[in-house]
Structure 1
Amino acid sequence: MIRIILVTLILSGFGKAIALPGTTFLPRTAVQPFDVVFNEIMANPNGVNDLPTAEYVELYNRSLAAVSLFGWKYRTQTISANLVINPGEYVLICRKSDSVAFSAYGKVIALSTWPALSNTGAALSLYNLQGQLIDEVTYSDSWYRDNQKMNGGWSLERINTGAFCMGADNWIASTDKNGGTPGKTNSVRDESTAEKKMINSLLLVDSLQLEIGFSVSVDQGVAANVTHYRANNGVGLPNKVTIQNDHTVLLGFDKPFNPGHFYDIVAENLADCAQNWFNSSSSFFIPETPIMGDLLLNEILSNPNTGGVDFVEVYNASQKILDLSRFTLGSLRNNGNFSQVSISPVQLLVKPNEYRVLTIAPEIIRQHYHCPYPDVFIKMGSLPPFINDNGNAVIKHNGKTIDSLCYGETSKGVSVERIQFSKAAYLPENLHYAASTAGFATPGYKNSESMDSLQAPLFQLVSKTFSPDQDGFEDELQLKFTLPESGYMASVEIYHESGLLIRRLLRNQSIATDGLLTWDGYTDGNSIAPPGIYIIQLELYHLNGTRKHYRKGFVLARPF
């Protein structure tokens, strides 16, 4: 006989029901789904730290009433014990021979016949006395999210006891030092109710079929209704819905999805397994098939400085939006072996005239070079093995070569740049070292040695007067320049009107085809130059023997 006493409850900070001292609970028979939930699974106990080396499953009563588990069914086994689980209380289910060891952790349901827990995954179900499904979980060893812990000695713990139908997103390996938390709050527990994206994947099977993946288990009866889905751009409603599993549906359409378009997919008036109704939407893009020359290899660093890493820059020279997940980056070695890697495992779009920088460590590239556009970097798991000198890089799409670049000898820490998009990068005359004025590399923006259509050099002072008084206005002299071709070396000097040399800005250094030179008003001796009239003198030398001289006057002013 079960003694009945009126009770008073309070709620903990986690929303857990707690009884005041000296109270007993009235067991309830009208139990709703998810009142009692699976909370922890120890499928592979081998290697646990300070717990019984035995399998167990933990139940948690998240309701505000006591629940009798008599006659309930766990998987294939009926619970014969007249056991009551109070609000906020845990109960362990284990093999009968292990029940004494687990009794130290709280209430235990001992089963004479134990349905073993597979290390790799299994379906768990819990039915009440009336045969109503209260909770179910189909776990997998991928839920650990940790390759070491999935090998044994750690339990799977539920993250949010109030979140249902989420599958893997709501479970993870225990972080408790013992490997699990039987009979107490899970080490990973988080009862926050962060909004989740209901549609978490879209897969275009072919032009007439689209697979939608949901982050929750959906009500299959509701999800099978074609009127709950629609697509834009003239595609409309599907003509067929096929339930793939409790998280996935396959939609069939009369009108095709066409390349070169973005599509919005709307799923509305759907329900999850707990009958929570929701609407959700997502979008995807179908890229057009690229042809040779659409995606160009524009710059490569194969011989980085000590502590540096390689990078490859690509440029979308087409008028198409390209999906880099469909491209590979490769290199052909001297021994004939071709090594290649996929650029991205997920869709990664690059618009016309955009750059992307491929490297294993974007943060290191940003430390070594000027990188004004950090968002263009793509962190790769690996790059093909580029040799320092006389190597190559190849871009392929579905096995077809789209572009290739062949470089010769390199200098340490200096990238090799493509000069013209319209010429092949396997031609030696279309490659050049990055200019020293650009910092020896230009990852993510216009190459320092790119060809311009100008026929003559252009030099222009931004202002003919500057005052280095740090007031935020014209604090430095700025000289903008544009050259008609690459291959120039430059010497740039500042003279006082009296003819005295004040500062050497460049001395026989390679120079970019366009850029900005600045002078801060300091002499070579690191003293402040006096006010007056000055002359900036430029001397250019080209590899073909051409020499050019330029002089421009300006004023260095000081406030009174």
Structure 2
Amino acid sequence: MRLPIVCFCLLLQALPGFTQTPAIYDVVIHEVMPKPSPVAGLPPYEYIELRNISTTPVQLSNWRLAVNRREVALPACLLQPDSLLVLCTPGAVSSYNIPNIRGIDRFPAIADDSALIVLYDAFRRVIHAVDYHQGWYAGGKAGRGGISLEMINTAFPCSGKVNWTASTAAAGGTPGFINAVAANTPDVSKPDLLFAAIADSIHVLLHFSRTLDSALAANPAHYEISGGLRVTSCRVLPPVFSSVELQLDAAIRPQEVYTITSNGVADCNGATSNTYNSVTLGIPQQPVGNDILINEVLFYPPAGIPEFIELYNASGKVVNLNELRACARTAGGGLGVFKKITTSGRLLMPGQLLALTTNKDLLCSYYHCRSPENIQEVSSLPSMPLDGGDVVLLRVDSTIIDELPYTSGQHFPLASELQGISLERLQYQLPASDAANWHSAAATAGYATPGWLNSQRRGDAGDSLNIALLPEVFSPDHDGTADVTQLSWQLPAPGFVGNVTVYDLQGKPVRYLARNILMGNTGYLPWDGTGENAVVLPPGIYIFFIEIFNLQGYVKRCKRTVVMARKLN
């Protein structure tokens, strides 16, 4: 279906019904082609598509389009309701067989990996903004080029990433036509408070996951800060309106950690968050060697899932991540291209973990992200070859903070498949260059722990070995009480392999809960009373036979019993 467009000269503004004062989101950035090559089917040119989603015509004369702060003026054009307009360089116009296209002199280049695109009206008001990055493509071949990014549902123009995806059109995009991915998909995400940054001694920046309701978010009554300080005023920052600048009544004191809490702050769709609404902050200090450590890496991810690098603040300092970069060593041993970790001044607090990835949603769709607030999206990561490489964490001035030379040989020797398994650091006190200080993540932890305590570590579990099966009596009747029993353990070191088999009183194996699984220092395996055929077994006494061993020759075998009961009618 082709959507019509009618462009008239400025004189038509004088006619009745042909003018309006535009409101925010009346016209939206509807489709973007940031990397047209290699060609999938469309001409090899960048373009930006606008759509009028209001019910009245909008005159675009004196409007401005900015891409990463480079602005151009839009031509006089009356954009009719539910109409599209494709913008590109003048030389590209003839390559598209569509009427609703305009060439723009000095059309701003659209960066491949990330760009902030802002549409301003004639009064310099933000009408729409899209802050995309490579992760919006959700992995796969689409991000390699020739495929556009399309908005899914125009009912949620301020929803950001969750409302955009790679075009599914055979040609790689739909310039001048309705988006191939268009759907009435709901938006159920919430405006979580992600982190804080310090602008100066009396100004704090709060960064939310969503575009906010500016009127609500600008009310100081919605924010509280510890340490006897008070928020006197605040403003929501354009053009994305997902950050709030707070002004305090007194200066933040050095060496003190503060907690800021937001309450009742709604996003542009009216949703509020009751889960992640509190962050800590303090005055940052410059990190030195081994203050920030590389703690976990996933360099061979499952198909379609992004890599990640996890950092750990091993110091007592608050560190501004804007001062840090990541890179890979080149074949000649030099430092490769520096990759920014953040440009927002995010603070890494003492003892905090932070996983860096290009697509948080995709990563957490595969792995269990227990603390999603500890995962930071970046536009790109350093190159991490499958067989081995060298990841460097350093300051902007090239001072090296930590460095990890890794190989696939550092994985657990008995692992039959390395894809999808991360390498975890065993001890903070030992250098990252010590190959023995790294171990494959445990199977019982999902093979990776981004933003969470490593499943394999040395020195935390002590010398004890504890295995427990609780509750000792359970009833799998789905009444919400003791429906499963859980085998849990605490092991003295990393690298243990486990087998767990459930037997009935006649000595017959009825369920193989684990077969040669790589166990973490701590972990658990639940049992819901079903056998190998997924059918609930009869009530009675069952015996867990547990065998654990490691490559150093340690072997431990033990039994635990459990009673599976049934309620009487």
Q: 1:88 to 1:513 in 2, by over 3 A?
A: same
Change (3 A) 1:142 1:528: same
Q: Which runs of 5+ in 1 are unaligned?
A: 1-48, 61-84, 92-116, 122-138, 180-200, 211-231, 236-254, 265-282
* Alpha-carbon distance in structure 2 between the residues aligned to 1:375 and 1:414: 22
Contact 2:65/2:119 (8 A) holds in 1: no
Q: How many residues align?
A: 360
- CA separation of 1:531 and 1:400: change in aligned 2, threshold 3 A: same
Corresponding position of 1:329 = 326
Q: 2:314–2:350: 8 Å Cα contact kept in structure 1? A: yes
Partner of 1:16: none
Structure 1 Cα separation of the partners of residues 65 and 548 of structure 2: 69
Deviation per residue, 1:129-165 (Å, 9 max, x gap): xxxxxxxxxx982687xx9848574899865x9xx7x
Q: Of 458, 469, 475, which residue of structure 1 is paired with 2:477?
A: 469
Match of 1:169 in 2: 126
Question: Which residue is 1:25 aligned to?
Answer: none
The 5-angstrom pairing of residues 5-16 of structure 1 reads none
SS state at 1:375 partner = helix
CA distance in 2, matches of 1:477, 1:263: 41
Is residue 468–residue 475 contact of structure 1 (8 Å, CA) maintained in 2? yes
Equivalent of 1:141 in 67, 71, 93: 71
Select which of 372, 387, 392 maps to 1:394.
Answer: 392
Give the equivalent residue in structure 2 for 1:385.
383
Matches of 1:443 and 1:428 in 2, distance apart?
A: 20
Paired position in structure 2 for 1:303: 300
Structure 2 residue corresponding to 1:376, chosen from 374, 377, 384:
374
User: Per-residue CA shift, 1:156-214, capped at 9, x if unaligned?
Assistant: 9865x9xx7xx4536889x9xxx9xxxxxxxxxxxxxxxxxxxxx9855xx9999xxxx
Distance 1:336 1:142, change over 3 A: farther
Cross-structure match for 1:419: 426
Per-residue deviation, residues 459-512 of structure 1 (Å, max 9, x unmatched): 122311111111111111112211110011111111123322121111122111
CA contact (8 A) 1:304 1:414 kept: yes
Q: In the TM superposition, what are the counterparts of 1:423-434 in structure 2 within 5 Å?
A: 423-434=430-441
Distance 2:64 2:562 in 1: 78
Change (3 A) 1:290 1:498: same
Q: Whose strand fraction is larger, Structure 1's or Structure 2's?
A: 1
The question of whether the paired residues in 2 share the 8 Å contact of 1:259 and 1:288 is answered with: no
Letter in 1 for 2:421: V
Which residue, 343, 347, 351 being the options, matches 1:345?
343
- Equivalent-residue separation in structure 1 for 2:86 and 2:507 (angstroms): 73
Given that 2:198 and 2:283 are in contact with CA atoms closer than 8 Å, whether structure 1 keeps it comes out as no
Kindly provide the CA deviation profile for residues 41-66 of structure 1, in whole angstroms up to 9, marking residues without a partner as x: xxxxxxxx8646x8x69999xxxxxx
Unaligned runs of 5+ in 2: 22-61, 75-84, 91-101, 105-117, 131-153, 155-175, 177-196, 205-225, 230-249, 260-279, 412-417
Q: What corresponds to 1:101 in structure 2? A: none
- Give the superposed CA RMSD: 4.6
Q: TM-score, normalised by structure 2?
A: 0.54
Distance in 2 separating the partners of 1:554 and 1:408? 43
Deviations 1:225-281 (CA, angstroms, capped at 9, x unpaired)? xxxxxxx9999xxxxxxxxxxxxxxxxxxx9987556899xxxxxxxxxxxxxxxxx
Give yes or no for contact 1:143–1:171 (8 Å, CA) kept in 2: no
Residue 549 (structure 1) shift: 1.1
CA distance in 1, matches of 2:567, 2:303: 46
Output the CA distance in 2 between the equivalents of 1:389 and 1:456.
36
Please say which structure displays the higher CA radius of gyration.
1
SS in structure 2 opposite 1:425?
A: coil
Tell me the CA shift for residue 412 of structure 1.
1.2
1:140/1:434 CA distance change after superposition, 3 Å: closer
Report what 2:310 is aligned to.
313
Deviation at 1:325, TM superposition (A): 1.7
Partner of 1:559: 567
Q: Which has the higher contact order (CA 8 A, sep 6+)?
A: 2
Give the direction of change, closer, same or farther, for the CA distance of 1:208–1:547 in structure 2 (3 Å limit): closer
Per-residue deviation, 1:306:
1.7
Aligned pair 1:286/2:283, yes or no?
A: yes
Q: Which position in structure 1 is the counterpart of 2:406? A: 407
Cα distance between partner residues in 2 of 1:202 and 1:547: 53
> Normalising to structure 1: TM-score of the pair?
0.55
Question: Relative to structure 1, is the Cα distance of residues 433 and 86 closer, same or farther in structure 2, using a 3 angstrom cutoff?
Answer: closer
Rounded to whole Å, the distance in 2 between the matches of 1:473 and 1:150 is 62
2: CA distance, partners of 1:554 / 1:208: 59
Say which SS state the counterpart of residue 391 (structure 1) adopts: strand
Specify the code of the residue in structure 2 equivalent to 1:305. P
1:369 offset after TM fit, Å? 1.3
| Closer/same/farther in 2, CA of residues 285 and 352 from structure 1, 3 Å limit | closer
Q: Which residue of 1 aligns with 2:165?
A: none
Maintained 8 Å contact 2:498/2:546: yes
- Pairwise CA distance, 1:515: 0.8
SS at match of 2:436: helix
Q: How does 1:472-487 map to 2 (within 5 A)?
A: 472-487=480-495
Please show how residues 521-532 of structure 1 align to structure 2 within 5 Å.
521-532=529-540
SS of 2:407's partner is: coil
Structure 1 residues 59 and 496: CA distance shift in structure 2, 3 A:
same
User: Contact 2:65 / 2:73 at 8 angstroms: preserved in 1?
Assistant: no
Quote the Cα distance in structure 1 between the aligned partners of 2:128 and 2:313.
Answer: 41
